[in-house]
Amino acid sequence: MSSSQGNAGQPGALRAVSESATRPAAVGSDAVGSDAAFGVSIRSIDRDFPGERGAPRRVLRDITIDVTPGEVLAILGTSGCGKSTLLRLAGGLDTATAGSILIDGSPVTPFDARTAVGFQEPRLLPWRSVTQNVALGLPRGTPKAEGDARVATLIDLVGLGAFAGNRPREISGGMAQRTSLARALARNPGVLLLDEPFGALDALTRLKMQDLLLDVHAAAPTTVLLVTHDVDEALQLADRIILLGREDGLEGSTIIQEIVVPGRRPRDRGSAELAELRGRLLAGLGIDRHGEARGVEKTTAMPAFPY
Ligand SMILES: Nc1ncnc2c1ncn2[C@@H]1O[C@H](COP(=O)(O)OP(=O)(O)OP(=O)(O)O)[C@@H](O)[C@H]1O
């Protein structure tokens, strides 16, 4: 599936970010320079880690998926099922036990420069300004004038123009996460790997960050692999969702559900079609429609993220 089934590059997709008074600049893909979205081909990946008494413990088993250039793929699964491990493998931060991963047709390399990773915590240098933190993401050897312009454009894109000189302690958690996103984009990655990027934010800021990510993706339609626990976030952001889980009697997680999300983004969060998919995904995560985790004592209210 291509990103054209989402709304990547859709005219007018840039919308205001309301967390601060600033607005993202209406920039096109040329301005942020992300013109190379790469496909990711994951082929028959297994990943074992040493288990008890050194015996191998399989975490991922026979994962195969092709992600097309510009596609947003969400990776869902219960805690510990191997989502981050899959992301790390795609970025060359870990090595598979078996199988291969190709980016743009060639094997992923250690700390592959074609990828950039965004984490749950913003991981900013506290003594550096927003601008200096974003500049850390620039590829080595970027000419100064070009780098300065790119950093300024990205800071505007994430709506932080008025805070460019601030230190991390002087901005909110949402702003810090936006800085982190701009730093990842500064690298001009062909593949953006996001590991629970909004997981530490409050619910309202998380919704705003989801909108921001859509804006950013419209302006710089790179390929995105997004690890999340949040079914609604996956349904709002992704072209396609894979659910990792175990098959009966087999060790290690594999792809147990794959869903192409219908409709253009931003999607109507309340649509009946998405509600149906939400139910299917929650069932795959072991949560029934009444919010009860199978095998878990019933609670009176459904927590926000019980899975
Ligand atoms: N370097 C490692 N050495 C040994 N075991 C590891 C290593 N990295 C991950 N694991 C194990 O692999 C399993 C999957 O971990 P991973 O972090 O990928 O899961 P996850 O789905 O991202 O979890 P969560 O949603 O809680 O972040 C876990 O049992 C974890 O302990």
For each of the domains in the chain, give its residue range(s) and CATH number, in order of start.
72-114+191-199+224-285 (3.40.50.300)
19, pLDDT greater than 90: no
Q: What is the pLDDT of residue 107?
A: 97
Signed CA dihedral, 286, 291, 297, 301: sign only: positive
- Which residue's alpha carbon is nearest to atom 10 within ligand 1? 49
196, pLDDT greater than 80: yes
Among 59, 229, 246, residue to substitute to test ligand 1 (most atoms within 8 Å of Cβ): 59
The Cα–Cα gap between 124 and 256 comes to 36
Q: How far is the CA of 53 from the centre of ligand 1 (A)?
A: 18
* 83 close to 189: Cβ distance less than 8 angstroms: no
Confidence of residue 215 (pLDDT cuts 50, 70, 90): confident
- Go through 23-33 and write b for each residue having 16 or more CB atoms within 10 A of its CB, e for each that does not: ebbebebebbb
Output the CA–CA distances (angstroms, integers) from residue 157 to 23, 73, 217, 228, in the order listed: 8, 22, 11, 23
270, pLDDT greater than 50: yes
Establish whether residue 243 lines the binding site of ligand 1, counting it when its CB lies within 6 angstroms of any ligand atom.
Answer: no
Most confident of 6-10, 129-133, 267-271: 129-133
The Cα–Cα gap between 217 and 192 comes to 10
305, pLDDT greater than 70: no
Residue 292: phi and psi, rounded to 5, are -100, 125
* 154 close to 222: Cβ distance less than 8 angstroms: no
12, pLDDT greater than 70: no
Output the CA–CA distances (angstroms, integers) from residue 100 to 95, 103, 107, 109, 301, in the order listed: 9, 10, 7, 11, 43
Q: What is the pLDDT of residue 51?
A: 87
Q: What SS3 class is residue 170?
A: helix
281, pLDDT greater than 90: yes
Q: Is the omega angle on the peptide bond into residue 139 within 30 degrees of 0, that is, cis?
A: no
32, pLDDT greater than 80: no
* 235 close to 277: Cβ distance less than 8 angstroms: yes
Which of 204-209's residues contact partners 24+ apart within 8 Å by CB, and which partners?
205/19, 205/172, 205/173, 205/174, 206/230, 206/233, 208/17, 208/18, 208/19, 208/174, 209/174, 209/177, 209/178
Give the DSSP H or E segment for 252.
none
Q: What is the pLDDT of residue 220?
A: 82
Chain-centroid distance of CA 228 in Å reads 7
Of the candidates 210, 209, 189, 201, the one whose C-alpha atom is nearest the C-alpha of residue 265 is 210
Lowest mean pLDDT among 55-69, 183-197, 270-284, 292-306: 292-306
Mean pLDDT rounded to a whole number for the chain? 83
Establish whether residue 84 lines the binding site of ligand 1, counting it when its CB lies within 6 angstroms of any ligand atom.
Answer: yes
Q: Secondary structure of 200-220 in the HEC alphabet?
A: CCCHHHHHHHHHHHHHHHHHC
* 1 close to 69: Cβ distance less than 8 angstroms: no
Instruction: Pick the atom of ligand 1 nearest to 227's CA.
Output: 22
The Cα–Cα gap between 103 and 89 comes to 11
Establish whether residue 82 lines the binding site of ligand 1, counting it when its CB lies within 6 angstroms of any ligand atom.
Answer: yes
Q: What is the pLDDT of residue 252?
A: 95
Q: What is the pLDDT of residue 290?
A: 59
* 133 close to 173: Cβ distance less than 8 angstroms: no
Q: What is the pLDDT of residue 21?
A: 27
Q: What is the pLDDT of residue 293?
A: 52
Establish whether residue 305 lines the binding site of ligand 1, counting it when its CB lies within 6 angstroms of any ligand atom.
Answer: no
From the DSSP assignment, how many helices (H) and strands (E) are in the chain? 8, 10
**85 vs 206: which has the higher pLDDT:** 85
> What's the whole-model pTM score?
0.83
Residue 66: phi and psi, rounded to 5, are -110, 125
- The predicted-structure confidence for 58-103, as pLDDT tens digits, reads as follows 999 999 999 999 999 999 999 999 999 999 999 999 999 999 999 9
Of the candidates 197, 267, 213, the one whose C-alpha atom is nearest the C-alpha of residue 235 is 267
